[in-house]
Chains A and B, each alone.
Chain A
Amino acid sequence: MTEGVAVPPAILELTREVDQARVDRYAVAARDPNPIHRETPEAYAGPFGRPAAHGMLVLGIVSDLMTRGFGQAWAETGGIKVRWRSPALTPVVVTVRAELKKHVEGTVTYDIVATEAGGETLLTGTATVRI
């Protein structure tokens, strides 16, 4: 964890594999048992043809990235705004990248994008934190 970041990093990046076992554990921990996220007939008959990871699980990777970059400042002042662009079909390797957009009066804003290994964009948005 980085405490008291004086000069914000220009780029932050984090890659994590999201397999079905992780999604199943997340479904319990986050109390979201929607069958489209699990190995169920509903998932295979659904719009994606197979299970899709919870979007909030992908967003959790973004939060982890910001935690690694800003530590306690993220916990105390973090803000995030995202739109999901496509489903993360399991198993999937997710890379989250944050690129510094602006640094004004102690608040930094990053453009956020999450992609899967094939290049498909899963999520875009911005994250802010006071440093």
Chain B
Amino acid sequence: MAHSLQFSDLQKGHSFARFPFLVTAEEVAAYLESTGESPDAWREHVPPIFIDALAIAELLATVAIPKGVMHTGQEHQTHRPARIGEPLEMEMRVSALSERRGAVMAVFEADLHDTDALPVATMTISVMVLPEGATV
């Protein structure tokens, strides 16, 4: 996979991705089938945690995350539901970056908004990259 950014390129405050975001009914159905959730509640809207999963997929596609990375935390706040098939836009930035005893902790923030720039959801993805050779 060709990444546009190396992990070492990241800096706190760096806004590194802005991309169209649209989820189809087929994608929602496949997600719900994989998690075991009933589709009954999600005929119109995208399940909130699926939005987070797709944000993480975009992060992984954009930034070359080193081996040894651990997804340590996740936050999500819905401002209003994302509709299936609705054209939205997501923006991602580095909201925190620190190092302790060789381990790097990074927090990525993702904002999902509509075509009027009104917020739909905000998410944070916390990861820790262990120093090479370290085990959990």
Contacts and interface: CB of A to CB of B under 8 A. Distances in A.
A78 B68 CA distance: 31
Given A31-B57, A84-B73, A75 B30 contact: no
Contacts of B56: 30, 32, 56
Contacts, number: 113
Interface residues of B, number: 39
Interface in A71-85: 71-72, 74-84
Given A22-B36, A79-B77, A63 B27 contact: no
Contacts of A77: 78
Nearest to B73: A83
Given A32-B57, A55-B71, A56-B53, A1 B40 contact: yes
Contact of A22 (B34, B38, B45, B70): B34
B33 interface: yes
Interface in B101-136: 126, 135-136
A48 B136 CA distance: 8
B72 interface: yes
Given A26-B34, A29-B33, A47-B136, A59 B40 contact: no
Nearest to B40: A1
A30 B34 contact: yes
Interface string B19-62: 00000000100110111111011100101111011101100110
Interface of B: 27, 30-31, 33-38, 40-42, 45, 47-50, 52-54, 56-57, 60-61, 68, 70-78, 80-81, 126, 135-136
28 contacts: A22-B35, A25-B30, A28-B30, A29-B33, A29-B34, A32-B56, A47-B135, A47-B136, A56-B56, A56-B74, A60-B37, A60-B50, A60-B53, A61-B35, A61-B36, A62-B49, A63-B37, A63-B47, A64-B35, A71-B41, A75-B41, A76-B81, A77-B78, A79-B78, A81-B73, A82-B73, A84-B71, A84-B72
